[in-house]
Structure 1
């Protein structure tokens, strides 16, 4: 379990993380979301003792990570897949880490096999693709068979097969009772991967809740309607203040009215409906809406 309490980090006049408190529990995949510059990487570095907090505390299973000897047995982390010696082979890199953390040598071969790098074990890392480096970073995190795992943008460079493999691995690790904390900017992937979310903006907590609860925060709700007479339906619902957007598949998306009210209007005006479905905000829509004020460098409208 990871527990942060009033965690704060300042760099001169800039506050990167501000009084941040949250708990990451075992047995779940917890997504860590926020716009660029929100303080996600700084927070992960403080969890690992790489950055000292200005104030506040963060512990892993009740202790600051720096107090742990042989740290890879307690926490496995992938922060930067490029942060490896390019002249070493994958097996040499992992073997050195295994020796320094009193991890059995057999684990090197096991994790290389698990991440799909067994055939590239003796190749120099400098010749690896980004996806291969990501897999090596994941192997490093798994090396000590730790109860807590942190991943910062682990999907970078992975092909679709790799994304599916990693998604399954996260779920397996959580099912084993481990704490799995994944920082990512890919909202659609988090919808398939995370059980809970911790969302921050400008270094402050926005949400700490289940995926479903967070998506429900979005205020945008629409209704998908399929009818043989879209022109008549459009005229009726727009007269009530709704907006209608035709879709490529022949359906219409109506916003501004509930499904019940649309059904009543269609019945009153003898408009046949073949389908009517309420659609709530997606995770991405809820994220964009709730973090809009936290974007550090918002882009302008396209000209």
Structure 2
């Protein structure tokens, strides 16, 4: 498939507000690329620009080298879930998907196939107005898959899903990427993105902050901490501080050390004959790395007066 999404100096302004600001990045096939940013960062606007739902104020965005609107029968090229509630409540899932199939010249057999894939076969003829949010998310994913497209965009696909549904979506995205598709997923749920994406595009106030592998993003902003349990916390803490480490001691005597690697801590304890009962390193989670790198891009800070 090898179809990429390319954003080149993409900009979108609404009056005096710049929602997307000179954004340049490439979303590649064969990966689940997570799209992260604080609230108001411009993520949803960017997705709409990719799909041609908004017109750029400047720059370009292409799918396989051309604008999305220039692709005939769009659902065969890009499948998207932007808003799970954007479905006529009086229609059944079958009617909704059939209308999409007919308008995009997609074989009607695909309707039953994608409903089965997302687990909605038994509810296919029920009115969507009676669906839970999780069921609507599954229907939105079915619509995205309908044309068997090489490119897939999802905005907050985990909302409303129970743990089984979240696991299913995570595995689905992984399978789609393994097939060589381009999978671009926007979400504010860091714990899920940490287990779903292998690449990241991170923006703040509409501008690019990072475009790299998830592991590299976390490592670049990591502040490793080593937890140590020992029979002599006071003596070991003094030795670690003397070696240039920073040490916090909790009420149980457990040490949290920064500035020294676990190997060095073990060596210092051994030289002094101090027994170590537990020693392990904890690096930053995706959420911690994200919060650190986007701190200057948060539009509304809790506790701020405006």
Q: What is the TM-score of this pair, normalised by structure 1? A: 0.94
Match of 1:182 in 2: 185
Identify the match of residue 199 of structure 1 among 178, 184, 202: 202
Match of 1:243 in 2: 247
**Using the alignment, how far apart are the partners of 2:259 and 2:86 within structure 1?**
50
Match of 1:32 in 2: 35
Query: Displacement of 1:28 after TM fit?
Result: 0.8
1:262 equivalent to 2:254? Answer: no
**Using the alignment, how far apart are the partners of 1:163 and 1:245 within structure 2?**
38
Match of 2:229 in 1: 226
Distance 1:228 1:179, change over 3 A: same
Query: Displacement of 1:220 after TM fit?
Result: 1.6
Match of 2:56 in 1: 53
Deviations 1:122-144 (A, max 9, x none): 11101110000000000000000
Distance 1:247 1:70, change over 3 A: farther
Q: Alignment partner of 2:176: what SS?
A: helix
Distance 1:68 1:255, change over 3 A: same
Match of 2:278 in 1: 275
1:297 equivalent to 2:293? Answer: no
Q: Alignment partner of 1:274: what SS?
A: strand
Distance 1:247 1:110, change over 3 A: farther
Aligned ranges 1:1-303 → 2 under 5 Å? 1-238=4-241, 242-246=246-250, 251-300=254-303
CA contact (8 A) 2:245 2:257 kept: no
CA contact (8 A) 1:148 1:178 kept: yes
CA contact (8 A) 1:215 1:286 kept: yes
CA contact (8 A) 1:238 1:244 kept: no
CA RMSD of superposed structures (Å) = 1.8
Q: What is the TM-score of this pair, normalised by structure 2? A: 0.93
**Using the alignment, how far apart are the partners of 2:251 and 2:48 within structure 1?**
45
**Which stretch shows the higher mean deviation, 225-234 or 177-186?**
225-234
Query: Displacement of 1:277 after TM fit?
Result: 2.7
Stretches of structure 1 lacking an aligned partner (at least 5 in a row):
none
**Using the alignment, how far apart are the partners of 1:142 and 1:49 within structure 2?**
19
**Which stretch shows the higher mean deviation, 288-297 or 215-224?**
215-224
**Using the alignment, how far apart are the partners of 2:301 and 2:184 within structure 1?**
27
Query: Displacement of 1:231 after TM fit?
Result: 4.2
